[in-house]
Amino acid sequence: MSFADFKKRSQSSINELTKKIEETNKKESYTDDRFWRPELDKSSNGYAVIRFLPAPEGEDLPWAKYYSHGFQGKGGWFIENCPTTLGQKCPVCESNSELWNSGVEKDKDIARNRKRRLHYVSNIMIVSDPANPQNEGKVFLYKFGKKIFDKINDAMNPEFEDEDAINPFDFWGGANFKLKVRKVAGFINYDKSEFESTSALLDGNDANLEVLWKTQYALAEFVDPANFKSYTELKTKRDTVLGNDIRETVSDTTTTAETVSESEDSTPNPFDSTTETESKGEETDALTYFEKLANE
Ligand SMILES: [Zn+2]
């Protein structure tokens, strides 16, 4: 390249750099356009048909599973991945255990509000999206909670003898999933969602399926230790957000209306990282918090 060309490029390189920075930031923000979410109408109803896709190239599982915390204290928001995902200690889960074990109802409520939330992420293809038809036929990441995972699990392990086990993630023997979203008692509810009968995706055309498979996103990053802060970092952040008293809360009702979970009292300690209990409010994912932050 001549020096004259080099000089000419110096302005455009700023634009390129800016664009790159924007792309990087985008991936970290709640507007990450790799993710699809059902669009809900004014009464919080939503409908779409999606197809769960197999493990992406080089990976073993068609989903990634991780935990995160999202809550507000007087020192701001705590929105972080929970290291119990990786089998490591978490300072927030620890203070939640302490609150829960006190047996005091008020403490238990605080612990519920700060509990770790379970997330799954899978690749999906949008079969039908009436609210956004431009998404149809495209591959996205989809983040969901225990309720939908239970439906997947039920399909793989049916309860009754007359039902055939299916692998919903299979291109050829899987099934489309009718996602039906409603709001029930203040919670986003997926109970009416169901699998259709089995069908090969894209009419089972291997060439087209291969193209689709190659466009799937890697899932490994969601459980990559690099995306989890250390115990010390998290403890510092927790102390900044909560102050010295883990019982102190902010009187901001927006943190409770949609996120506080329902009766978990049947389990000895839902904050013990060895238990898998999750609540009805599970599917209210951390994105809600990011949206709130963005609107502030
Ligand atoms: Zn935790």
pLDDT of residue 20: 64
pTM: 0.75
How does residue 178 score in pLDDT terms, banded at 50, 70 and 90?
A: very high
Residue found by looking up tokens 């209990």 in the block = 277
**What is the phi/psi pair of residue 245, to 5°?**
-105, 110
Average the pLDDT over 190-204 and give the result. 96
pLDDT of residue 246: 85
Sorted by sequence, the CB contacts under 8 Å of residue 220 that are 6+ apart come out as 59, 64
Percent of the chain with pLDDT over 90: 67
Sorted by sequence, the CB contacts under 8 Å of residue 9 that are 6+ apart come out as 1
pLDDT of residue 40: 94
- For residue 84, the CA-to-ligand 1 centroid distance in Å is 6
- Residue 165 belongs to what H/E stretch? none
Query: Which range, of 135-144, 206-215, 235-244, 254-263, averages the lowest pLDDT?
Result: 254-263
In this predicted structure, the answer to whether residue 207 has a pLDDT above a threshold of 90 is yes
- For residue 146, the CA-to-ligand 1 centroid distance in Å is 17
pLDDT of residue 31: 78
3-state secondary structure 44-64: CCEEEEEEECCCCCCCCCCEE
- For residue 272, the CA-to-ligand 1 centroid distance in Å is 9
- For residue 105, the CA-to-ligand 1 centroid distance in Å is 20
Structure tokens at 260: 């506080």
In this predicted structure, the answer to whether residue 259 has a pLDDT above a threshold of 70 is no
- Residue 23 belongs to what H/E stretch? helix 3-28
| pLDDT one-digit tens code per residue, 7-56 | 777 767 767 776 666 665 544 555 799 999 999 999 899 999 999 999 99
- For residue 92, the CA-to-ligand 1 centroid distance in Å is 5
- Residue 78 belongs to what H/E stretch? strand 76-81
pLDDT of residue 266: 34
Which one has a higher pLDDT value, 27 or 223? 223
Are 212 and 206 in contact by the 8 Å Cβ rule? The answer is no
Average the pLDDT over 132-143 and give the result. 97
pLDDT of residue 286: 39
- For residue 64, the CA-to-ligand 1 centroid distance in Å is 17
Sorted by sequence, the CB contacts under 8 Å of residue 244 that are 6+ apart come out as none
- CA–CA separation, 63 and 94 (whole Å): 27
Coil, helix or strand for 188?
strand
